[in-house]
Structure 1
């Protein structure tokens, strides 16, 4: 398997070290009113999902609980991917990178911090799963393996018994040679498009390698054997995939130091990238994570290397504003992020150069409604997870129930 320290440092610290080379659903959520946020601690002794209540009034977090996933985490696997924890409908999906499995929970809509593990964690048929996606239309979940057996394993969801493996594996060994050419090649994100007619994966480059955005067309529930290989000039670290309300628009982060930082992609019906518009993020160090807010038709971009939130207009690709915040460790920023109603949630995991926690992980909560009148977002909470649930080996992923339907 790939060295863990390199897996963990993909976005948090390795970006600065790499040389730069030239839907079927409505927008309404499920649930009778209960809201919750989910992350995972990635504990190698036993991975846990941490669920916290979200106030319907002011967006603040409270009353977190730890629920074992039944799998194992991977020590210091921090900042390696987007979508390691995903909510869809009344289900939470979580990858277990330490034992190469995927878990699924049923959410109690009346008390969404109450999770029921369905069945046993399912093998992802490869090494180091880092990201997961689920299509309600297809009733299929797919997990992305980023280790030395890279590829995608997919599962049907049985509402009583959990994940049932499907009889195929989307191999990306041709993308990442076996053995991989050093530790700086890894897959980072996986997404179905909103209409569930294609599956997308980002595979990062390294050295002289350009990164790729791969897509598998899906016809009548069957995945194509011939994926589209979208190699994008100048995009060495395609990281997070963020659909902008339709199949045809995709926001892609590129957290390579001295790169533009992101790109807007026009996607053809075939799943091929038809056009690339680079998005220049001033001062970007490692702009890894992003989340789309349809209310203001904008993307929030989080930089792992500095405490700055960048807001990008989803139509023009222009940066409309940037806002600083405070972290407990110099030279670090935020990680996973999601927007829910008028609130932005950002996970911060302050670590040292060896990717050891220096201070407890926190979730920052911002009221972003002032943006609609041209004002500045307002921090409403800095939620210290450790003080509530006890010592954590780490924290990764961020998902919210009810999940939005526009990405």
Structure 2
């Protein structure tokens, strides 16, 4: 029997010195203390009557019984190159729903709308819809991002009217009117034909000052994919400042008294001019205004980058603490890459890694426990763990060898929380939809939660986790 000992190191050291060598002592890894166990996971059925599926996370990381809450909108399915429904990747993207604080947002691809819910603080599986589903500016929305700092929700659409549209939201009033579409001009149809030449995922930077969107290219048609970046502006902020155009001048006077180590007073006055072209953080004004209560908005000025060595950028995660921002991104054409976004909002390639035997590596998450990325493939029933500094492969978790999950054709959207990774397999119409729960440290399957009894099938998409 092993004991977990949590003592100050000053008390623990003598015990270690005195302990017989044949008595093992387990110490809790430092990372585990910072990796909170999740409260619930969520995904959407994406059926004609769309619904959010909520599953509570038990103390041991396993999942409890699921509940369904209607979105008030309808789902849809993209088409593959043969004109057939593109299951089990119905929305050909990542993050069809997302969480901001105690609010959840879900896309309705068939009705071109987004639904907002409040998550009960007492029961994470109790969702209360805030208002009705709100129409977006675009067709076939397949990915959504929400910024709690800016009270801003943005949706990526990949149909005949493809692009990005945003709206402010309020916990009580719900989602406001979506602004004009920032077109991506993919030349798609309704429903779109994919998976190439389509919007993959939209997501905010760690400081919520920029919105990133990955867009898949089409190598067969010599069409290049790209990373799109829009800065976030506060109400009244001149967008020209982002590009270094125009000057912003202001004067500030103030007096103040303060204490430092119990003593000292200070007064100061100052005047200054600020040239937007010299401002190393052109979004600082926007952040200050948003914090002061002004409504934030997304700029209409876009920066696009197509880093050499990438082609079909898909599911992505901002690497926590990276400065300048770095993005761990899957690329369905070979595996995964690490991108860096500079002050001009242009992306460059830092590293890439091919994954042998892949069908299409498309979805990603970062584990707070292991500080590594986990990626999935719609056509291969495994998870691949990768480093965040050079994208090299750490481990491969073959779930086809597990009796419980052997029938899954592959995995799509996934999220990590605590010491576990939760990955959705919608099935393919013959195999049952399920969520695989994998221990991020031992790399073992700990649960295979099937979903057929609650009516979840091959159209299911997305994965979000409440921590």
Q: TM-score range by the shorter chain?
A: 0.7 to 0.9
SS at match of 2:180: strand
1:222 deviates by 4.3
Aligned to 1:398: 463
Q: Map 1:301-340 to 2 at 5 A.
A: 301-326=375-400, 327-329=405-407, 332-340=409-417
Q: Does the 8 Å contact 1:43/1:393 carry over to 2?
A: no
1:121 partnered with 2:133:
yes
Aligned residue pairs: how many?
354
Higher strand share: 1
Take 2:182 and 2:62, find their aligned partners in 1: how far apart are those partners? 40
* Partner of residue 194 from structure 1, selected from 192, 206, 220: 206
Residues 77-88 of structure 1 mapped to structure 2, 5 A cutoff:
78-79=88-89, 80-88=92-100
> Is 2:306 the counterpart of 1:231?
yes
Counterpart CA distance in 1 for 2:34 and 2:173 is 27
Identify if the C-alpha distance between structure 1 residues 138 and 303 changes in structure 2 by more than 3 Å, giving closer, same or farther: same
More relative contact order, 1 or 2 (CA 8 Å, 6+ apart): 1
1:344-363 counterparts in 2 under 5 A?
344-351=421-428, 357-363=429-435
Return closer, same or farther for 1:114/1:314 CA change in 2, 3 Å cut-off.
same
Matched-pair contact (CA < 8 Å) for 2:319–2:388: yes
User: Is the 1:338–1:400 Cα contact (8 Å) retained in structure 2?
Assistant: yes
SS in 1 for 2:122: coil
Q: Map residues 74-223 of structure 1 onto 2, 5 A cutoff.
A: 74-75=76-77, 76=85, 78-79=88-89, 80-173=92-185, 176-177=186-187, 184-206=196-218, 207-218=221-232, 219=283, 220=286, 221-223=296-298
Residue-by-residue CA offset, 1:55-108 (whole Å, 9 max, x unaligned) = 02x111112111000100114564211000111210111000011000110000
Whole-Å separation in 2 of the counterparts to 1:231 and 1:28? 35
- TM-score under structure 1 normalisation? 0.82
Unaligned runs of 5+ in 2: 1-32, 78-84, 233-282, 287-295
Residues 133 and 198 of structure 1: CA distance in aligned 2, closer, same or farther (over 3 Å): same
Judge conservation of contact 1:267–1:274 (CA < 8 Å) in 2. Answer: yes
Please give the alpha-carbon distance, in whole angstroms, between the structure 2 residues aligned to 1:391 and 1:253: 26
Which protein is bigger by CA-based radius of gyration?
A: 2
Note if contact 1:34-1:112 (Cα within 8 Å) is conserved in structure 2.
no
Q: Is the 8 A contact 1:300 1:310 kept in 2?
A: yes
Greater displacement, 295-304 / 112-121? 295-304
Q: How far off is 1:29 after superposition?
A: 9.5
Provide the TM-score with structure 2 as the length reference: 0.72
The reply on whether 1:51 has 2:128 as its aligned counterpart is: no
Q: For the Cα contact (< 8 Å) 2:369–2:440, is it kept in 1?
A: no
CA RMSD of aligned residues (A): 2.3
